[in-house]
Structure 1
Amino acid sequence: MYLQHFGLTETPFSLTPNTGFFFGLAPHVEALQVLQTALQTGEGFIKVTGEVGTGKTLICRKLMNDLPERFHCAYLPNPYLTPDELRWAVAMELGLKHSSQINQQQLTGLIQQQLLALSAHGHSIILVLDEAQALPDDSLEALRLFTNLETESRKLLQVVLFAQPELDERLAQSKFRQLRQRITFSYCLRPLTVEESMAYIQHRLTVAGSSSGRLFSDSNAKRIARAARGIPRLINVLSHKALLVGFGEGAKTIEPNHVDAAIADTGDALKHQYGMVKWSVATMVIIGSGLAVFYWFKGGVA
């Protein structure tokens, strides 16, 4: 809607994790360094935790995109699976063709054979689970048993868990002590600082093709950073809404009232007492749609 108006070539603040927008900020670089170091050791479980919206899925995709060729990656984006479903999913990710009539013991044997075959060809096999806090208790135990598969010198499978902090609370229980002891590397993602958030906003605008200078002044970027509490997903939401409001008013740069409207319209944002907002973001979208029709009649694209 507002791309041409602000001189952009693509949406800068989409909620879909896009590694093309990856920015080497300290917490994300540190997480990747921990993951890369851990994978080189070939041992046990690796865990990355962080609050909702801190960038776990983006780091997950960045890790998989940048894996050396010798790694074979099995990826489970939605691990809310029973132990049986987990084994079937792992088998499929490993490229196994099998009959649905085989029992779980036979399936585990086939998985072990496939892991041995891949290892014999020089592959290191990693199983990556996003949203790992959704794993049922029995499936967590089944996952631990996978890492019992090994040769005399190395594990046949490494497991990388990306999860919300709720996973740490569950693993603290006595019944998970065996799994907990197998987590050899872990990292907890922190929110961005105000300075990192400001740089993050500008980076995404630059990648999206912004050529009109700074659409967000430092003071307005700080307001967004503080309202978002340094959480990248909320920064994206607030920045996107501020651009919508600015577009609706025909502004070429984002003003404080645009940021105020975005904050007021976002339930999870930290509210500030900046005065009354004249219109809601929804109203601005409607107004912006009217402007889009105007651009269309003039032969442009909104």
Structure 2
Amino acid sequence: MYEQFYGLSEKPFSLTPDTEFLYRYSGHQEALNVLLVALRNGEGFVRVTGEVGTGKTLLCRQLLKLLEADCAIAYLPNPLLTPLELYQAICHELELSVPAEASLQQLCQIIFVELARLHKAQRPLVVLIDEAQAMPHGSLEALRLLSNLETEKDKLLQIVFFAQPEFDQRLAEAKLRQLRQRITFSYQLKSLQEHEVASYLAHRLHVAGYNGPELFTKAAVGVLYKAAGGVPRLLNLLAHKALLAGYGKGVGKIDRGIAVKAVQDTAGLKQPRKAVFSPLSVEFALAMVVAVVTFLTWGLLR
């Protein structure tokens, strides 16, 4: 709708996790570094946790792109799987032929044979699990048991969890202590810091084809940051609404007023504080002072 008006080739603030728009701010870059170091060191279990909207799925897909040339990848975006469905999903991702009625044990054996083949070809298997906080207890145990498939010196597969903070609470339970002890690398994904927001918005606009001057004023960026708390998904939502509002008004600059309207149109966010002293309120206050002084002077002269 507003793309042509602002000289964009596509929407810059879509909520879908498109790796073309990945902005490697401090939190994402640190998380990516931890993941790559852990996987290169052959660690069995790694976890990345973060609040809703901090970009875990985007990070997961970026990691997938970085690893696919050197590793076999099993990407599981839906964790609501029984142990049998979990093993079936891994076989499907590896394009393995399995009998229609294969049991859990048979699937485990098929996976082990493939792991041995991949190990010989020096292509380790990495299983990426998104939204891991929703995975049933039995399936988490099935993953742990699957990780027992290893040689005397090397692990044959590595597992990366991407999850909301509730996952940490689940791992603290006694029944998952064996899995918890195997997670050797962890990272908690942070939101954008205030000084990173302007660059984040500019980066996404540039990827979407924008080549003009700064589109969001400093005041507008401040409003969006405070309302979104630096959460990328919320920033995308608010920036998208701000561009819609700017387009509706026919203005080429997103100022504080437009940003405020975008925030007010979004339920559940901290609303921006109104300015205490606007030009109008200052004039009104001065007028009141003059009126009071005049009234008191007139009273003394009577």
Same fold (TM over 0.5): yes
Q: Which residue of 1 aligns with 2:122?
A: 122
Alignment pair present for 1:2 and 2:2: yes
Q: Which residue of 2 aligns with 1:210?
A: 210
Alignment pair present for 1:222 and 2:222: yes
Distance, in Å, in 1 between the alignment partners of 2:156 and 2:184 is: 16
Equivalent residues of 1:55, 1:233 under 8 A apart: yes
Equivalent residues of 1:229, 1:270 under 8 A apart: no
> 1:273-295 CA deviation, whole Å, 9 max, x = no partner?
338xxxxxxxxxxxxxxxxxxxx
Q: Which residue of 2 aligns with 1:241?
A: 241
Equivalent residues of 1:242, 1:262 under 8 A apart: yes
Equivalent residues of 1:242, 1:258 under 8 A apart: yes
Q: Which residue of 2 aligns with 1:155?
A: 155
Distance, in Å, in 2 between the alignment partners of 1:233 and 1:68 is: 26
> 1:127-163 CA deviation, whole Å, 9 max, x = no partner?
0001111101111111111110101111111000000
Q: Which residue of 1 aligns with 2:79?
A: 79
Q: Mind listing any 5+ residue stretches in structure 2 that lack a counterpart?
A: 276-302
Alignment pair present for 1:59 and 2:59: yes
Distance, in Å, in 2 between the alignment partners of 1:68 and 1:108 is: 23
Distance, in Å, in 2 between the alignment partners of 1:269 and 1:5 is: 28
Equivalent residues of 1:76, 1:128 under 8 A apart: yes
Equivalent residues of 2:83, 2:104 under 8 A apart: no
- Of the structure 1 ranges 78-87 and 266-275, higher mean CA displacement relative to structure 2 is found in 266-275
Alignment of 1:1-302 (within 5 A): 1-67=1-67, 69-274=69-274
> 1:195-248 CA deviation, whole Å, 9 max, x = no partner?
111211111112212122111011111110111000000000000000001111
Distance, in Å, in 2 between the alignment partners of 1:232 and 1:268 is: 16
3-state SS of paired residue (2:101): coil
Distance, in Å, in 2 between the alignment partners of 1:102 and 1:207 is: 47
Distance, in Å, in 1 between the alignment partners of 2:138 and 2:68 is: 32
> 1:82-139 CA deviation, whole Å, 9 max, x = no partner?
1111111111112211111222111111111111111111111100001111101111
3-state SS of paired residue (1:149): coil
Distance, in Å, in 2 between the alignment partners of 1:185 and 1:211 is: 40
Aligned-partner residue type, residue 22 of structure 1: L
Instruction: Kindly state the Cα deviation for residue 271 of structure 1 after the two structures are TM-superposed.
Output: 1.2
Instruction: Kindly state the Cα deviation for residue 68 of structure 1 after the two structures are TM-superposed.
Output: 5.9
> 1:251-282 CA deviation, whole Å, 9 max, x = no partner?
1111222111110111232212338xxxxxxx
Equivalent residues of 1:43, 1:154 under 8 A apart: no
Instruction: Kindly state the Cα deviation for residue 66 of structure 1 after the two structures are TM-superposed.
Output: 1.2
Aligned-partner residue type, residue 37 of structure 1: V
Aligned-partner residue type, residue 132 of structure 1: A
3-state SS of paired residue (1:214): coil
Q: CA RMSD in A?
A: 1.1
Distance, in Å, in 1 between the alignment partners of 2:163 and 2:15 is: 18
Equivalent residues of 2:84, 2:103 under 8 A apart: no
Q: How many residues align?
A: 275
Instruction: Kindly state the Cα deviation for residue 25 of structure 1 after the two structures are TM-superposed.
Output: 0.8
Equivalent residues of 1:83, 1:138 under 8 A apart: yes
When Rg is computed on C-alpha atoms for both structures, the one with the higher figure is 2
Q: Mind listing any 5+ residue stretches in structure 1 that lack a counterpart?
A: 276-302
Aligned-partner residue type, residue 34 of structure 1: V
Equivalent residues of 2:49, 2:187 under 8 A apart: yes
Aligned-partner residue type, residue 173 of structure 1: E
Distance, in Å, in 2 between the alignment partners of 1:163 and 1:102 is: 30
TM score, norm. by length of structure 2? 0.89
Distance, in Å, in 2 between the alignment partners of 1:45 and 1:81 is: 19
Seq. identity, %: 50
3-state SS of paired residue (1:73): strand
Distance, in Å, in 2 between the alignment partners of 1:172 and 1:202 is: 40
